[in-house]
Chain A
Amino acid sequence: EDKVVQSPLSLVVHEGDTVTLNCSYEVTNFRSLLWYKQEKKAPTFLFMLTSSGIEKKSGRLSSILDKKELFSILNITATQTGDSAVYLCAVGFNNNDMRFGAGTRLTVKP
C-alpha cells in the first residue's frame, strides 16, 4: 500500500529554536517529494526534491531527500512565530498520482 508518514504529528517550540520535521514514504515508482506549508487554507509550496543528497535551501528552511532510506527532512532554523503552521509532505508517484502525509503541526511560541 502506498503511504506517506510524517513525524512528529505536532511540535511546540520557542522562537529561535531549530526544528527538524520528518517524512518517510513507501510508494510505487517514486517521482518526487514535496514540502508544503499550510496556514489557513491552501498549501503553499516550499520545496520539490527528486534527487538524493542534494539540499534545497530557502532562507531559514532547508530540505534533503534520501531515496535509499526513503525519507526526507525539513529543517527550520531560528524559528519565528510566523513559522507556525502545518507542514505537509507529499509524494508524487506512478504516472501522476500523489499522496500526502498527515502533516506536522508546528507551533512557535514567542
Chain B
Amino acid sequence: EPEVTQTPSHQVTQMGQEVILRCVPISNHLYFYWYRQILGQKVEFLVSFYNNEISEKSEIFDDQFSVERPDGSNFTLKIRSTKLEDSAMYFCASSLTPFAGGRDEQFFGPGTRLTVL
C-alpha cells in the first residue's frame, strides 16, 4: 500500500540552526501539507502546497518557515534559525484532491521529531 515517508525520524539541532525536514508524498498525489504537534498539544496546520506554490498557510507559518518541492518526489519544510519552541513532531501529509474539498482522504507520514536544544 502506498505511504507517505518522512526523514529523518528524529532531528536534534542547536537553537539558531537551520533544519530541513523531508517528505516523500504518495506518488500520484497533487496536494501536500505540513502539520506540527508540540508534545501534549493539538495537531496544528502549517501550510498546504499545490502546483509548486503555497495554497494556504496558518499564522504559525511565518518567515521562519519555507516549503519546497525541489524535484518530482520530495517535499521539504525548512525552518530557519530554530527556536526552542519549534521543538515538536512535524507531520507531512498528501492527498489526491484538495483536502478541504472533501473528496479524498489525506494520508499522513510517520512524522519527524524535532528537538531544539
B102 — which chain A residues lie within 8 A by C-beta? 31-32, 48, 50, 92
- Contact B107 A96, beta carbon cutoff 8 Å: no
Contact with A along B5-42 (1 / 0, CB 8 A): 00000000000000000000000000101010000011
- Contact B42 A44, beta carbon cutoff 8 Å: no
- Contact B100 A92, beta carbon cutoff 8 Å: yes
Which A residue's beta carbon lies closest to that of B58? A97
- Report the count of interface residues on A (CB-CB < 8 A): 25
- Contact B45 A42, beta carbon cutoff 8 Å: no
Kindly state the separation between the CA atoms of A102 and B33 in the bound complex, as whole angstroms. 19
Known pairs A42-B110, A94-B56, A97-B56; A32 contacts B101 (CB<8 A): yes
Q: Is A106 an interface residue (CB 8 A)?
A: no
- Which of these, B45, B56, B110, contacts A100 with CB under 8 Å? B45
- Contact B48 A96, beta carbon cutoff 8 Å: yes
- Contact A32 B111, beta carbon cutoff 8 Å: no
Task: Sample 12 A-B pairs with CB under 8 A, ordered by A number.
Answer: A34-B105, A44-B108, A94-B56, A94-B100, A95-B98, A96-B100, A96-B101, A97-B45, A98-B33, A98-B45, A98-B99, A100-B43
Which residues of B are in contact with A by a Cβ distance under 8 Å? Answer: 31, 33, 35, 41-45, 48, 50, 55-56, 58, 89, 91, 98-102, 105-111
Question: Can you list the 8 inter-chain pairs with the closest CB atoms, starting with the nearest?
Answer: A32-B102, A92-B100, A31-B100, A50-B102, A42-B108, A100-B43, A96-B48, A102-B42
